[in-house]
Structure 1
Amino acid sequence: MDVPRPKEDGPSRPETEPARIRERLGARSIVLIGMMGAGKSSVGRRLAAQLDLPFVDADTEIETAAGMTIPEIFDRHGEAEFRDGERKVIRRLLESGPQVLATGGGAWMAPETREAVAENGISVWLRAEVEVLLKRVRRRQDRPLLQGPDPEGTLRRLADIRGPVYAMADRIVESRDASHEVVVRDVLAQVADVLDEEDRRKTEG
């Protein structure tokens, strides 16, 4: 996928200003996808604050709906039942109005979720190298897929499997060792680019 890179310097143009992006989004949401540790929640909160939109973490909503943590859901009911609930929760959230939505690492793998996002939002993949992801998640105990004897190997396998599907997102932003504010700026630029492209298609059509 050919992904336009946002400019690093210089003043932002009016169409990339947060208030203008919020207006142009209408009822749609910005949906952040990517691997565990990509920074979806940290970036999402800051992005939502700039856009004056609610921030919603899909995993938190799933835990609230189930009345238990995600590791507990995996232990008691298995991954298949978790994924089924995840699809339903994300669709419900997307139908509830504009927001910045951070999704779990495996959510985007479901075709139904990709369709729901396409209907109700703009998707952005926060892409990060496995080494960066591992550094961010290795001390956390709330990642059931990484609780085996080889978390690095598991993370690499997941990244290899999910990467081509993540690449179906509307845009890609590198989640690197930079400040969250820099990544937020990049996301805003990419969302503005999607909106510009839609406007061009309308004009040409």
Structure 2
Amino acid sequence: MKDINRNKKLLDAMASGNFFLVGLMGAGKTTVGRCLAKATHKEFYDSDHIVEARTGVRIPTIFDIEGEQGFRQRETEALRALASQRGIVLATGGGAVISEENRQILSAGGYVIYLRASPEDLYARTKHDKNRPLLQTADPLARLTELFAIRDPLYHAVADLVVDTSRQSVNSLTQQILKILNWPDNDHCER
């Protein structure tokens, strides 16, 4: 039954529906999302950027003032608004799947693609990024490993498709996704 629902969701997404990208920070959701949106002729959104635009401050500032719980409330509000749209590709924040409500919003609102990478690959991609509040710790790799252990099952639970992002260019990863989805035209995403 789950496969039938996934196929229906894919057909809806291919018509005028939505693709939602989930995964840990550094998995490539924003970069791949932009490329996927271009290739599928859909509008691209990043939920973290929407939260920042709505508040007028960067996410680390939200964490400093309101804590993670305050940020997560704002994230849910943004996801609810974005998932109600049609014809979008959405890159979600890495922790969006923590909330059962968010998982329901994503699952009901579009076709969910989990961009999966190992904690070591994620660390290599994020180690110099100071805009990741959850990685501002003495051992960011250990933190990523911990987050992976907690969130990987949640990403799998909500995902309609799981794609390994290890050691692939954005273009080849997007082409892989389009091929899996049997997307009719394969516009390339030039960087």
TM-score by length of 2: 0.86
Q: Deviations over 1:20-65 (max 9, x none)?
A: x898633421000000000011111111001111110110000001
Q: 1:52 to 1:23 in 2, by over 3 A?
A: farther
Give me the whole-angstrom Cα distance separating, in 2, the residues matched to 1:102 and 1:53: 13
The one-letter amino acid of 2:52's match is E
TM-score by length of 1: 0.80
Give me the whole-angstrom Cα distance separating, in 2, the residues matched to 1:41 and 1:119: 21
Which of 91, 94, 102 is matched with 1:102 structurally?
Answer: 91
The one-letter amino acid of 2:63's match is F
Give me the whole-angstrom Cα distance separating, in 2, the residues matched to 1:87 and 1:53: 22
Structure 1 residue matching 2:19: 3-state secondary structure = strand
Q: 1:23 to 1:124 in 2, by over 3 A?
A: closer
Give me the whole-angstrom Cα distance separating, in 2, the residues matched to 1:189 and 1:146: 34
Higher Cα radius of gyration: 1
Which of 97, 112, 133 is matched with 2:101 structurally?
Answer: 112
RMSD: 1.9
Residues 22 and 51, structure 1, Cα contact 8 Å, conserved in 2? no
Unaligned residue ranges in structure 1 (runs of 5+): 4-20, 194-205
Whether 2:41 is the aligned partner of 1:62: answer no
Residues 32 and 40, structure 1, Cα contact 8 Å, conserved in 2? yes
Match of 2:170 in 1: 180
Give me the whole-angstrom Cα distance separating, in 1, the residues matched to 2:17 and 2:83: 8
In the alignment of these two chains, the number of paired residues is: 174
Q: 1:101 to 1:76 in 2, by over 3 A?
A: same
Aligned-pair identity (%): 37
Structure 1 residue matching 2:49: 3-state secondary structure = helix
Deviation at 1:185, TM superposition (A): 1.8
Give me the whole-angstrom Cα distance separating, in 1, the residues matched to 2:85 and 2:131: 27
Give me the whole-angstrom Cα distance separating, in 2, the residues matched to 1:184 and 1:154: 28
Give me the whole-angstrom Cα distance separating, in 2, the residues matched to 1:100 and 1:192: 17
